[in-house]
Each structure stands twice: as structure tokens, then as C-alpha cells.
Structure 1
Amino acid sequence: MLPGALRRRGFLAGALGVGAGAALTACTSNAAPSAPANAPAAAAGGDNATPGTPVTIGFSAPAADHGWIAAIANNAQAQAQAYSDVTFEAVNPTNDITQQIAAVQTLINRNVDALVILPNDGSQLTSVGRAAMQAGIPVINLDRIFDSPLAYRTWIGGDNYGMGVSAGNYIGERLKAAGVANPVIGEIAGIDNLPLTQSRSQGFADALGTYGFRVGPRQAADFTAQGGQRVTANLLQAAPRLDAVWNHDDDQGIGVLAAINQAGRNEFFMVGGAGSANAMRDIQADNTVLKATVTYSPSMASSAVALARLVAQGRGMGDLAEQEVPASITLASATITRENVATYMPLGFES
């Protein structure tokens, strides 16, 4: 482990060098021209995988009650194992807020060099994030954000609003190209009282609005296959005609597709959400109404561990000019179709 004082300062300064552009001048000697003092900064590049100071990274996440969360834990562990200079300490996953706080406090007491935390609830775990930071342990806050920037060194997560925009743009472009006027566009959301669901729905509505379209029948499920099947059956009964549907989550999409098949409906196309391997295989086979999915990849856990390692070692990101790891990283939401599915298949998770 890093000495206490060094660890407290380590994440404030990186080891990334900054290059300078050389002036283009006529020169008759072999001496290289010196860079002016105000030369623009340039990234030096480098290999962040090169082993550095050995560090211990603590990890805490909710229990793997569906495919996406299971992939979060698996990706984090696999990334840590890829580094010879990382010891990975994962506490037992739990969906109990009190138990997760206690587990993270255990990692703080062990004096780990960095923490990666996907909280069950960002608001309720903010205090333990702040406790870690005050103890000199940098926190990489994964996905569900803490209430205060004082509780984390870096946040990394998906773009919920961007998911909705990507889904809305795909549907809008496809319907416009087909010349469909006044389309009926359904939406099968996740849990409505969650901010992430609200952001996804807002992005979807905003994107459709740019095409002159609006969201039609809408049902909220619970991110489970059972919930997806139940609410989709209700939506299909209430809507005798549909032109397109966006389902927020590929885990619940298993049930959504089951309900669609049971109803014998195929007059519309569907877009999924998150990027499960199941959904990608269906898109690749092109034998269901599912024609695309928009990503919210659990690969963010791999990146979180990589960031925690760099921060704990006092290193920056080799391809950036800045010497520090950024304070916030939002992943883009890509649209996966039959044309590009092979590229994204390695990132898919099993529902």
C-alpha cells in the first residue's frame, strides 16, 4: 500500500508527461529548437497497463439479482485480474443499504488504496463515500451517483438520457424513411420512480419530438422478465396497432418478447436497452421484432477498476494531456443493429 500521506496526495497528481510542439524554424545546426514557453499542451501518450506501485482496490456492489448487475461484478473482477499490481478485495454483494454501508466501512478500516462503489442508493451511501475520501481513500463512484462530489474522486456511468435519445432517433429515422405518418409508438419503461427511468423517458420523448412524433401507449415494468411480460401483455391489449416500441431494459425484454410472441403480434419493430447478449443474438438472427438495442454497458465496471488503479498509483490517463484522471466520465449510448452487432457482441451480458 502507499504510505498514508502519499496516498492522500496521489490521486491529485498524475504521472502523465506533457509534450510541447516544436517551432518550425530554419536551422543550420544539429541542435533541436527549444519549445516556446506558451507552446500548446499535447498528450504524451503511453501505456497505462505498464505495472506500477502495487495497490489494493476494494469493491462493493448490489446483489446480482439480474444479468446486468452480475456482469458488473464479473467485469470488475476480470479487469482487476488483468493487472499484476492490483489486489482486489470485493465484499459480499447485498441489496440491504445498511449492510452495504457496513461492508464499505470494513474496506475503509482495512486501509485499501482505492474503492469502487456501485451503491444500492446513491443518496443513502453518500456518507460512507465521504468517510472514505476523508480517510484519504479515493472513491470511484460507479453508475448510481452520490449526492455530493465530496463523496467521490471520479464518477463513471452510463447516459440514461442518451439511451432515450438513441432509441428515439433510431425509431424516428426508420419510421420517417418508411413514410409512416402519425405512428403509434409504445414505451415499456423500467421503474417509474427512479431518476434513471425518468431520464430515459425524457430523452426518448425529446428525440421523437424532433421528428414530429410523440410517445403513445406507455407501461412501466420493474426491470424483470416477469414484469416485462405482464405489462407488455397489458400494453398490447390496449393498443390494437403499433408501429414501434422501445423497451428500456434487455433483462425485462425477455418477458417483453414472450408477451409479444404469445399475442402473435409482429406489425411493429422494437428497440431494446442495455445491450444483453440475448438481445444481440436476436438482432443478429433477425427473426423477432427486436431490431436494435441501445447500450448501457456493464463494461463501465471494468473501466472503473482501471481508473481506481491509476488514481491510487498517482497516474493519469496516457492519451490525455491532463495529468489527472477526469472527475466525471459519461459513457456514450451506442445503437446496436444487425449491421454492427458483431462489434458489440463481446460486451454483451447474459440475461
Structure 2
Amino acid sequence: MRLRTPLRRHQSRRYTGLVVGAVAVLSLAACTGSAEDAADDENSGSDSAPAAAAGSNDEEGDQVTIGFSAPAADHGWMAAITNNVRDLAEEYPDIDLQVAEGTNDVNLQISQVETFINDKVDAIVLLPFDGAAMTPVAIKAMEAGIPVINVDREFDDPNAARVTVLGDNYGMGVSAGQYVCEQAGGDKDAIVAEIAGIDSLPLTQDRSQGFEDALSECGLDVDARQAAEFTVESGEEVAANLLQAEPKIDFLWNHDDDQGVGVLAAIENAGRDEFTMIGGAGSANAMRAIQDDNSVLKATVIYPSTQGADGVKLARLLVQGKAMSDLVEVEVPRTVQLYAPVVTSDNVDQFIDSAFES
């Protein structure tokens, strides 16, 4: 029986109130002049461009000091988060970026945010090591009049952030599952395996739920599932165990391209090539393998490593009193959720330049 209801209900619950759903929405060319200014220009008979054409959110504005804190760069995706933030800040001479050293110590990250508050920065962009633990200090910053942009790992109180920038973990699972359904071509006997990340994390649970819901739409199930730890070593160990237990697989979804390096090593060691593998997060090495077309890896699902940079860009707009030009709304949205597209050989050239290295 095809179970359509859970997919629609889960998507509706997760996406209600989201204002934006794609990375492209952060291309922030904008008109910043007022209607009165435009009218003055028109009435003056001058040859100058109207305000709508003359202004841009990317033009230099008032100096903005932004504090940024994230976990330690002990993972390719996390390293890319901070690297992309630094690269973005270099493009804007009006951004004074203060980057705290990456840490997986919650108490140290709390003290970093307290330093930003004491220094009276204009905004704080924060990817918490632990969203719940960082919530009180984020609220403290907000109460001090410093807007907080929460990235990736959510606080447990909506009042702790002015803006939240998220990837789409449930959507990753949906995208991977829909790709499997398309490739299966109606074969309801296809054997589907899954190598997840850390099972105790909500992000892993969301990815698996999305995958399961999407597969149910074409009458498929997850026949074999094991969890790894988002590391190369755990990926290789778990994949070796799964391959030994499953003599035949048609599709394998691995949640994370960093641990996917180990997964692919195990597959090669086992001499298995009868199935199609789908990756997760969108690393550059995964995309190169897709381009080369010489392994079982044929696709990966994006989990953008641009989230921190997007947060900095939004912080700049907030402090400078600007909005997002592609929207009619005159304020920066409360929530921005980025899309989770599937990358294949057909579109890999579109994504590889912004991909992170595992």
C-alpha cells in the first residue's frame, strides 16, 4: 500500500511559516532607494538612473561588526562553513568580521558569545555546538540589542534568534528517496540499504524519516540500515559489516560524504558494484567521483556549507536596515531554509565550484 499521508503531513509541519526555500534567494541585489527619491529623480529631468536601478544591497554601506562562532573544523563540511564565512566577509569592505576559534566545548563557546556581547558587536552569527545549551546566552545577546543569526543547529527558544538559517535534513531524505524511486522505475522488489549518521541526533532522525517517507510513495522500504558516526573510519567499518550481511543491494544511501570516503573504500575492498550509491551533503570529492563515473556513486544530496556565509550576509542586511530584494517584504525573514537538491552527472557542473573538500 502506498502511504501518501505521512509525507505530506511531515512536510507541512516542517515547512509552515518558512519564507524562503533556496540558496538562490540570497543573491541580494536590491533597490534601496525610496519611492520619494525615485519621484524626485523623475521630476528633475536628470539623466541619472532611477533609484530602483541605482541602488544595490551589495554596494558598500555603514560599517558592520559581526561576531562569528562555530564548532571545531574537525569535519570537511564544518571546515567549509568557517572558510565560506571568511571568504564572504572579504568581499564586503563594510564587514568587520570577528571570528572566534572553533570549539566543541560548550562552555568556551558561551564565553565567546559573552565576549561579543561585551565588545558590543553589531550582530552575532552562531552555529552552536549544542543549540539547547547555547540558548540562554543567545537570549542574553538579543536582550542586549544584538541580533543573533542562528545557523544549522537550532536553539530551543525562538526568542534566542532574530533569524534562523537552516539546511533541510528531512528534505535531504526526501530527495534521496525520490531519486531511488525514479531510478527503480517501478521495481517494487528493489533492495534499499541506508548508512545513517549518528542515530541520537535529530538531524539523522529527520534524514531517515524523509528517506522512508519518500520511498513509501513508490512502494519501497529500507531493507537494511546501519548507523555510522560521520567519520571516514566509522563509514568504512559500518559499510563493511552491511555488505557482508547483505549479499545483494540495488540502492544504498549514505547520509554523509565525509563518512562516504570510508563507505566507498569498503565497497571497493568488497569488490561490489551491483548497486547505485547516493551520497549526502555534497562534497567536492563525491562530485568528482560522479563526474568520473567510475564507481557506484552516482549522486549526492546537497546540505549547503554556505549556511554560515548566508547568515553573515543576512546579519549585514539587518544592521544596515536593508531587506531581501527578491521579496516584497521590507524586513529580513525570521527563517531561511535552504534547498536539498540531488546532484548527478547531468547537473554536477552547477554545484561543484561551491562544494567542500572531505
| TM-score between the two structures when normalised by the length of structure 2 | 0.85
Distance 1:118 1:198, change over 3 A: same
Amino acid at match of 1:145: E
Q: SS where residue 280 of structure 2 aligns?
A: strand
Q: How many residues align?
A: 316
In the alignment, does 2:130 pair up with 1:117? Answer: no
Amino acid at match of 1:236: L
Residue aligning to 1:196: 203
How far is the alpha carbon of 1:18 from its aligned partner?
Answer: 7.8
Residue aligning to 1:291: 298
Residue aligning to 1:258: 265
In the alignment, does 2:353 pair up with 1:346? Answer: yes
How far is the alpha carbon of 1:173 from its aligned partner?
Answer: 0.6
Amino acid at match of 2:179: Y
Distance 1:233 1:49, change over 3 A: same
Report the RMSD for the aligned CA atoms in angstroms.
1.9
Aligned counterparts of 2:32 and 2:170: Cα–Cα separation in 1: 33
How far is the alpha carbon of 1:66 from its aligned partner?
Answer: 0.8
Residue aligning to 1:248: 255
Q: Which structure shows the bigger proportion of residues in helix conformation?
A: 2
- Judge conservation of contact 1:16–1:317 (CA < 8 Å) in 2: no
How far is the alpha carbon of 1:181 from its aligned partner?
Answer: 3.6
Aligned counterparts of 2:71 and 2:165: Cα–Cα separation in 1: 17
> What whole-Å deviation, never above 9, does each CA across 1:296-343 have from its counterpart, x for those lacking one?
010122211100100111111122111110000000101100010011
- Judge conservation of contact 2:31–2:57 (CA < 8 Å) in 1: no
Aligned counterparts of 1:181 and 1:167: Cα–Cα separation in 2: 17
Amino acid at match of 1:74: N
Residue aligning to 1:234: 241
> What whole-Å deviation, never above 9, does each CA across 1:222-267 have from its counterpart, x for those lacking one?
0000010010011111100000000000000000000000000000
Q: SS where residue 133 of structure 1 aligns?
A: helix
Q: Which runs of 4+ in 1 moved over 2 A?
A: 14-19
- Judge conservation of contact 1:16–1:323 (CA < 8 Å) in 2: no
Task: State, as a whole percentage, how many aligned pairs show the same letter.
Answer: 56
How far is the alpha carbon of 1:15 from its aligned partner?
Answer: 8.7
> What whole-Å deviation, never above 9, does each CA across 1:131-174 have from its counterpart, x for those lacking one?
11000000110000101111000000100000000000001110
Equivalences for residues 83-232 of structure 1 within 5 A: 83-176=92-185, 180-232=187-239
Aligned counterparts of 1:127 and 1:53: Cα–Cα separation in 2: 30
Q: Extract unaligned runs of 5+ from structure 2.
A: 1-29, 36-42, 44-51
Aligned counterparts of 1:15 and 1:217: Cα–Cα separation in 2: 52
- Judge conservation of contact 2:191–2:248 (CA < 8 Å) in 1: yes
> What whole-Å deviation, never above 9, does each CA across 1:3-51 have from its counterpart, x for those lacking one?
xxxxxxxxxxx995687xxxxxxxxxxx9xxxxxxxxxxxx68521011
- Judge conservation of contact 2:132–2:156 (CA < 8 Å) in 1: yes
Aligned to 2:64, which of 55, 70, 75? 55
How far is the alpha carbon of 1:180 from its aligned partner?
Answer: 3.1
Q: SS where residue 345 of structure 1 aligns?
A: helix
Aligned counterparts of 2:321 and 2:130: Cα–Cα separation in 1: 29
Aligned counterparts of 1:156 and 1:181: Cα–Cα separation in 2: 37
Aligned counterparts of 2:104 and 2:278: Cα–Cα separation in 1: 29
Amino acid at match of 1:328: T
Residue aligning to 1:9: none
Aligned counterparts of 1:17 and 1:189: Cα–Cα separation in 2: 49
Distance 1:199 1:18, change over 3 A: farther
Aligned counterparts of 2:32 and 2:216: Cα–Cα separation in 1: 44
